[in-house]
Amino acid sequence: MTSDELALPTTPDASQPEAAAEPDGSKTVDRWSRPYAGWMVVARKEFSDHLLSIRFIVLILVLGVAAFVPLFFAASRIGSAASSVSGSPALFLALFFITSDPQSSAGVAVPGVYDFLRLFAPLLGVAFAFDAINGERSEGTLPRLLSQPIHRDDVINGKFAAGLAIIGLVIVGVALFVGGVGIFRLGIVPAPTEILRLVAWLFLTLIYVSLWLAFGMMLSVLVRSAATSALIGFGSWFGLTFFGGFLLSFLAGAFAPLSDTLLSTDPDKYLANSGLRDTLFRILPNTLYGESSIVLLNPTRTSISSLPASVDQAVQAQQQVGSLLSLDQSFIIVWPQVVALIALTVVCFAIAYVRFMRQEVRA
Q: Show Cβ contacts of residue 39 under 8 Å, excluding neighbours closer than 6 positions.
A: 150, 153, 154, 155, 157, 158, 161
Query: What integer pLDDT is reported at residue 342 of this predicted model?
Result: 95
Q: In a 10 Å sphere around its CB, with 0-12 CB exposed, 13-18 middle and 19+ buried, how is residue 361 labelled?
A: middle
Instruction: With a cut of 50, say whether residue 194 has pLDDT above it.
Output: yes
What is the chain's mean pLDDT, rounded? 77
Of the pLDDT bands very low, low, confident and very high (cuts 50, 70, 90), residue 312 is very low
Residue 27 lies in a domain: no
In a domain, 21, yes or no: no
The predicted structure's pLDDT at residue 309: 45
Structural domain includes residue 118: yes
The alpha-carbon radius of gyration of the chain (Å, integer) is 25
Inter-residue contact 210 to 164 (CB < 8 Å)? yes
Q: Which of 6-15, 226-235, 292-301, 354-363 has the lowest mean pLDDT?
A: 6-15
Residue 158 confidence (pLDDT) above 50: yes
Mean pLDDT of 19-28: 48
What's the total number of domains in the chain?
1
- How much of the chain exceeds pLDDT 90, in percent? 23
Mean pLDDT score, 1-27: 49
Helices first, then strands: H and E counts in the chain: 17, 0
From CA 225, how far away is CA 167, in angstroms rounded?
Answer: 24
Whether residue 26 is contained in a domain is answered as: no
Name the pLDDT band for 229 (thresholds 50, 70, 90). Answer: very high
Residue 108 — pLDDT band, cuts 50, 70, 90?
low
**For the range 149-152, what are the long-range contacts, defined as Cβ-Cβ under 8 Å and sequence gap of 24 or more?**
149/8, 149/10, 149/38, 150/6, 150/8, 150/38, 150/39, 150/41, 150/42, 151/38, 152/356, 152/357
CA–CA dist 180, 159 (Å, integer): 31
Contact in structure between 27 and 21 (CB atoms under 8 Å)? yes
Q: Over 70: is that where the pLDDT of 259 sits?
A: no
Would you place residue 260 in the very low, low, confident or very high pLDDT band (cuts 50, 70, 90)?
low
Q: What is the pLDDT of residue 207?
A: 95
- Which is more confident, 193 or 268? 193
The answer, yes or no, to whether residue 346 has pLDDT greater than 50, is yes
- The answer to whether residue 197 sits within a structural domain is yes
Q: Do the domain assignments include residue 187?
A: yes
> Does this model's pTM top 0.85?
no
Choice among 132-141, 143-152, 194-203, 259-268 with the minimum mean pLDDT: 259-268
C-beta atoms surrounding 143 within 10 Å: 13
- Pick from 209, 196, 198: which is nearest to 168 by CA? 209
Bridge partners (DSSP) of residue 27 are: 21
At residue 106, does pLDDT exceed 90?
no
38 with 159: CB under 8 angstroms?
A: no
| Per-residue pLDDT at 314 | 44
Is residue 15 assigned to a domain?
Answer: no
Helix axes 244-255, 267-281, angle to 10 degrees: 150
Contact assessment for residue 358 and residue 220, using Cβ atoms and an 8 Å cutoff: no
- Provide the pLDDT for residue 313: 45
pLDDT at 349 over 90: yes
Of the pLDDT bands very low, low, confident and very high (cuts 50, 70, 90), residue 117 is confident
Any domain includes 81: yes
CA–CA distance, 121 with 263 (Å, rounded to integer): 38
Query: In which domain, by residue range, is 197 found?
Result: 38-316+323-358
